[in-house]
Amino acid sequence: MKAHVLYEPELEFRAGNRHIDPRYGIGVFGPADADSPTAPHQIPVALVGPTRSIDGIRKWLQRCQSPIEAKEAKPGQENLHQAFPGFSTDSEFGSELVFDDALVREIPERLLRKLARADVASATTEAVDLYADAARSLAETGRCRVVICARPDELNDREERPPPDYLAGGGEEREERDAGGDFHDLLKAAALGLHAPLQLMRTETWSGIKAKNNGETARPLQDEATRAWNLHTALYYKAGGTPWRMQRHSSDLATCYVGISFYRTASGEELHTAVAQVFNERGDGVVVRGGTAQISKKDRQPHLALADAKRLLLDALAEYRSTHGHQPARIVIHKSSNFTSGETEGFHQAADEREIDHVDMIWIQRRGAPHLYRTGQLPPLRGTTVQLDERSLLLYTRGSVPYFRTYSGLYVPQPLLIRPASPNTDLRIAATDILALSKMNWNNAQLDERDPLTLRTAYRVGAILKHVPSSARIATRYAYYM
């Protein structure tokens, strides 16, 4: 075995300029679509929440119109933290938030006090109803592009959780423990039919005060510039903008990336259902819901029947064509469980029906992979690959980053195990794609996310869709789920 380190993928920004760091790229060049006539140069936002929260959010967002200094870094690690350039038409973002008192819906304090006294399930349901009704009345005006909701502090439900081991074999079954849902997922599910996506904000985001949970710090608080980067990047994308794109050479085939994960309905009575998250290399996301899946007795993992696999990919390609005006020349399918013969045949039949010649099917495992150790105290470099055999490759999407001159994570990085189900898949190209897709999370301006956007977002979509009736129409823009 021999380790090989992939080059850090570059991203594309305004006028085709490129850089590896999303924050540097926007801060120097501007968003990828800055010169487009459809770029969101003005973003009218609506606000929902208690009076104190609305005032706090508005005050902080107005502060973010001006530059915010970067967190102080150790000597030689200045790239680890980037100053926020400000969010205004005069800044590199070239965009500003527009506030209007008519686009505010205050949630009465007396109703929020009731939430604190109610049991968790009842309080969560009541809070979702309150916020969904307010958001609906604002979205129906047609005057706002994003609805910002202040998460109620009185609510004691589980807050947004990081994705579980949804990439690991059998990881989907562990999602049953989360069948009850939380405020974030339930509110997003209730708002899928609105004309504007939601952006939820915690008090700590605008106040800069760490959240507490039974006297303990719930999560580390990011510095102010990082919080501003993450929030405004998300708002820009949700308003229809493209902060950055994956790099594409003129000789590259137009590619459709499909992420497939599984979820169980909120009742827990129905079997796992497949959900596909479709992206092209330009960064546009489309959501497609698939049919039911079955738990295999052989590997205890969810799988699709041949007909369901075919229908899923045909639906994904139809949405891709509707959104982009053409069919892709190449399809890459990322899946959180291994591929059965029925699934591979179904996917190939769909591709053949659409006369698409290039199909790569890749099983990505998050656990069960061997670890590498690097001489010295630092973890392996991000982008390190090791081909274990002809059909399996280790890839470190997290690790030491030369651009940062450090490893920025809190835990020992674990590699992804990549196993193609298609015979002609080039493992090096597959790993390069995955490394690039790990940089395409517009909820986070960090360049070294662990998971590819395909599967990360497929999980997030499933966590929301499990609260939506299968007969209901759903939003197809990923902006409604993030």
Q: What is the 3-state secondary structure (H, E, C) of the chain?
A: CCEEECCCCCEECHHHCEECCHHHHHHHCCCCCCCCCCCCCEEEEEEEECHHHHHHHHHHHHHCCCCECCCCCCCCCHHHCCCECCCCCCCCCCCEEECCHHHEEECCHHHHHHHHHCCHHHHHHHHHHHHHHHHHHHHCCCCCCEEEEECCCCCCCCCCCCCCCCCCCCHHHHHHHHCCCCHHHHHHHHCCCCCCCEEEECHHHHHCCCCEECCEECCCCCCHHHHHHHHHHHHHHHCCCCCCEECCCCCCCCEEEEEEEEECCCCCCCCCEEEEEEEECCCCEEEEEEEECEECCCCCCEECCHHHHHHHHHHHHHHHHHHHCCCCCEEEEEECCCCCHHHHHHHHHHHHHCCCCEEEEEEEECCCCCCCCCCCCCCCECCEEEEEECCEEEECCCCEECCCCECCCCCCCCCEEEEECCCCCCHHHHHHHHHHHCCCCCCCCCCCCCCCHHHHHHHHHHHHHCCCCCCCCCCCEHHHCC
**pLDDT at residue 439 in the model:** 92
Do the Cβ atoms of 433 and 332 come closer than 8 Å?
Answer: yes
Last residue of a domain, one of 220, 238, 256: 238
Question: What pLDDT score does 419 carry?
Answer: 94
Examine residue 1 and state whether it is found in any structural domain, yes or no: no
Q: What is the pTM of this model?
A: 0.91
What are the structure tokens assigned to 161, written together? 């959780």
- Supply the pLDDT for residue 433: 94
Half-sphere exposure of residue 53, counting CA atoms within 13 Å on the CB side? 24
Residue 8 inside a domain? The answer is: no
In a shared domain, residues 209 and 280: no
Q: Are residues 211 and 250 in the same domain?
A: no
Is 6 part of a structural domain of the chain?
no
Buried-state track 31-56, b at ≥16 Cβ within 10 A, e below 16? bbbbeeeebbeebbbbbbbbeebbeb
The answer to whether residues 198 and 315 belong to one domain is no
Q: Which residue, of 194, 221, 238, is where some domain finishes?
A: 238
In angstroms, how far is the first alpha carbon of the chain from the final one? 39
Residues 30 and 168 in one domain: yes
Instruction: Give dist(CA 372, CA 190) in Å, integer.
Output: 44
pLDDT, position 253 = 83
Q: Would you say residue 7 lies in a domain?
A: no
Structure token digits, residue 116: 């604190």
If asked whether residues 36 and 179 sit together in one domain, one would say: yes
Q: Position of tokens 């926007």?
A: 26
Residue 257: inside a domain: yes
Q: Give the domain extent around 217.
A: 17-238
- The verdict on 342 and 297 lying in the same domain is yes
The reply to whether 206 and 319 lie within a common domain is: no
* Same-domain pairing of 267 and 232: no
Residue 265: partners with Cβ closer than 8 Å, 6 or more residues away = 273, 466
Residues 284, 185: one domain?
A: no
Domain-located, residue 320: yes
Q: Which residues pair with 358 in a beta bridge?
A: 330
Verify that 201 and 261 share a domain, yes or no.
Answer: no
- Output the CA angle 62-47-162, nearest 5 degrees: 90
> Do the domain assignments include residue 5?
no
Sheet bearing 11-12, strands edge to edge: 18-19, 11-12, 245-246
Residue 342 in domain:
yes
Cα-based distances in Å from 172 to 78, 339, 371: 39, 15, 23
Structure tokens at 211: 């959240």
- Which residue in this structure is represented by tokens 């990549």? 418
Which pLDDT tens digits describe the chain residue by residue (482 residues)? 778 999 999 999 999 999 999 999 999 999 999 999 999 999 999 999 999 999 999 999 999 999 999 999 888 888 999 999 999 999 999 999 999 999 999 999 899 888 888 888 888 999 999 999 999 999 999 999 999 999 998 887 655 454 444 433 333 333 333 334 589 999 999 999 999 999 999 999 999 888 765 444 456 788 999 999 999 999 999 999 999 998 877 667 889 999 998 887 776 666 567 788 888 766 678 888 888 888 877 777 888 999 999 999 999 999 888 888 889 999 999 998 899 999 999 999 999 999 999 999 999 988 767 777 777 767 899 999 998 888 899 999 999 999 998 888 878 888 999 999 988 899 999 999 999 999 998 888 888 888 999 998 888 898 899 898 888 888 888 999 98
Cα–Cα separations (whole angstroms), residue 194 to 147, 197, 319, 431, 479: 10, 7, 19, 37, 12
Q: Are 335 and 456 members of one domain?
A: yes
Q: Total domain count for the chain? A: 2
Q: What is the pLDDT of residue 219?
A: 64
Domain boundary among 184, 211, 238: 238
